Structure 1
């Protein structure tokens, strides 16, 4: 299976590194990238094939991974749509709907949309995946293997559920960092050094997450085991309940879900409108 990446940014690099660690040969991977410095870095670090032309870059590939910025995607691929025929297309461009991708690629039917999150950069991410109906089981398996190089994968049955994935795991690292900030601040206000408070907070999150991942028990059960009747943890949780922390957190994710849906619609409208005036070679060189 030969894989071509359209764009060689941070997420593409994470995926390439993960694939190589999981046994893919660098000779199977090509990257379409126009920035000379990034081209050199990709060759030096991964030994992959580099080109500035989409048509040339994906010519011998079975899978094309769209890894350019969402605002640039339509202009980057619309002029080279015939080159994608019969290939599996995986898009990690946030917010771009499969219906738009299919239209931009001349009604292409073999498209998978992926929503990874930033811990993928250290191989600890999770990616939500949705496939169009014509995508085969084998192609889904191929996509899973590619993305398992950067963490876990979860398939959803309806594309609209990717907005929920975005609200939960896509935005999720920011929620964790926000809570870690609060824990560190509370620790320093109670007399701990900032670095000590940070270490305690981060390691507590890591340990609790590993425990939850390895346990078959419900999260509620795990929480209850730490919460002794009349104890310290119970008082802390009661304070959070009185402040309706859980309710506020759920509402925040609902807002994120709605915003994800709105941004998808906005990207669709803008890409086929104002961005049509931008020439494709603004982003990638045409085939010579």
Structure 2
């Protein structure tokens, strides 16, 4: 067995990167702490400074408080989303919105990619690490596979519009909580209303359950067209397998190919290019 050794700077940074990717955001000590019993410190103007300033030195600037995740109000999220008159307004609202705690753990907002005038909209679940870094949905390995899948039926990102159910990456790529989904869904619904697609394709089980309001599994539902209402927009929708699932299970690509052929047939029937 190898003995413990002191880590160098590069190794320490690698460990911190791994912790961050896993969603670790709090240091845990040896002894348990009852944080419900803790009281916030009371600031006192009469309390002496621990370190006296040097003669003639300026007083230190106050340290700004960093906002943390707070419990948002779903009614507020719905009202904000309804007020957006364009996709640009909606994006700006999300940039300024602090109601969902996912925002405070993500690098940046991942709003959408593709053509806002497209008649075909693809909806995934949530951004991953690459999407969080770059700021666009489906840009990692699964995104590269999605591009190849679209190309197989004559589509590309200039002919589709791509979004996610949740616009911020959950820590460690975990599934969004029901509370987080409730706060983010009004913005997705308004996004769909503003794009007004003729066809919607959901990618993966979570997005399917969110959009189609079902608890059924993706294997049972995939490839089946049905009318779906998303916000105030009614359209035809079909679930299919997530590209990340196809990377882990290459044998399932045959099922995804059948779904793509079904999408192509639907496009031809509606005269969509």
What interval of TM-score do these two structures reach, taking the shorter chain for normalisation? under 0.3
TM-score (norm 2): 0.27
Larger Rg: 2
The answer to which structure has the higher helix fraction is 1
